[in-house]
Structure 1
C-alpha cells in the first residue's frame, strides 16, 4: 500500500465521508503500517511490465477533468527508477488535449487495469515532457515501441508521488485474444484435426464413388 497516495487523496472532506460510512478506522490502520512514499517495488514493476494499456486523467485550464486511453505492446510503460515511469507518446488524432492540460498542470492520475485478474493499480504523479530538446531523442530511442508503424512524438516521464492497489470488487473480467489463446489452443488443435479427418473421409468417398462409376 502506498500511503503517500492516502496523504494526497484523503482530504478532510474525504475523511469525513469515510467516517460517516464506517471505513475511516480501516484506513487509519493502514496509515499506521508505515508510509512507502511513491517508490514502486518489484510487485508494481512486474505488474506494469505486463500491461498493454492504461488511462490517464489530467485537468484543463477550465477545471474540467479529461481522461485519455494509452495503449501499446505489453510493457510499453517503462519503470526507469523506483519513483519514475515513462512511455513514448505516439502520434494519435492530433487533438493534443492531454498535452495542453499537462502544460497547464503537470499532475496526472493513472489507472492500470488487469481485467482477467480483477486488479487495478492507481498512480498519482507529475509529468515531465521531452519533445525536440537535448534529451528527447535519447529518451524516445529508449522508449519507442518495436512496431515501425508507430510514430513517437515525445517522451513522457512521470514522477510517481503515490500509488494504491484496489480490491477486485466490481472489476468485470475481460480477456484479450492473447490471454484467451492458452485456453483456446486445445480446441483449435482438435478442430484442425477434425477438419483434416473430415477432408480425408471426403476424399475417400470421392475416390470410392469414382471407382464405382468406372465399373
Structure 2
C-alpha cells in the first residue's frame, strides 16, 4: 500500500529565529514536510507561486507587505493553497480580517506542536482550523444577535462609507469613486470627510492604512 503524500508547508515569519525553530518543529512532525521559508509577505507570495505548498503558515505583522495582504493575494491566485495564520494577535479585528482575506485557520504562537500538527492536517483536508481560545471567541461572536453587523470592519461606518473606504484603499481618487458609485464628487468628498472623522484619521493615507489592516482594499 502506497504511503500518503506529506502535507507540504511554507513557513512565513519575519523573525528568523522563530521561523527557523518552527521549520525544525514542523519538519519533525509525521506527515509534514517544510518546503520553504519566507521573511515577509512579498516573499511569501512569490514562494507560494513557485512551490505551491498545501499550507502557508502565515504571520500577520511583518514589514512591507503584511500577512493580510499576502493571504489575500495567495488565496485569490492559488485557491488550492490553504493559509493558516500563526500570530500573537488574538483580538477580534485581526481574526476576522484574516478570515475575510481568505485564511482557513487561525492559531496563536503559544500553540504547542500537537495543536499545530492537527491544524495543518485539518487544513490540508479542507477544514477550518482554530486554536482553542480563538474557536471559543469565534463561536461566541457568531452566537451574538449583533454578529452579522459586528463582523463587518468598522461597524461605526455606514455601508456606503465602508464601500467608499474600500475603494479608497484600492487607490481610487474622488473622481473615480464618484463614477464607480454614480455619485457626485461633492457627495464623495463629504463622505470621505465623514469617514476620516469616524476613524479619527488625520489624512486619507492614514485611513487607507487602517482599512488595509482590517482587510479592506485587498484583492
Between Structure 1 and Structure 2, the one with more strand by share is 1
Query: Larger relative CO (CA 8 A, sep 6+): 1 or 2?
Result: 1
Same fold (TM over 0.5): no
Structure 1 length as normaliser, TM-score? Answer: 0.22
Structure 2 length as normaliser, TM-score? Answer: 0.22
Larger radius of gyration: 1
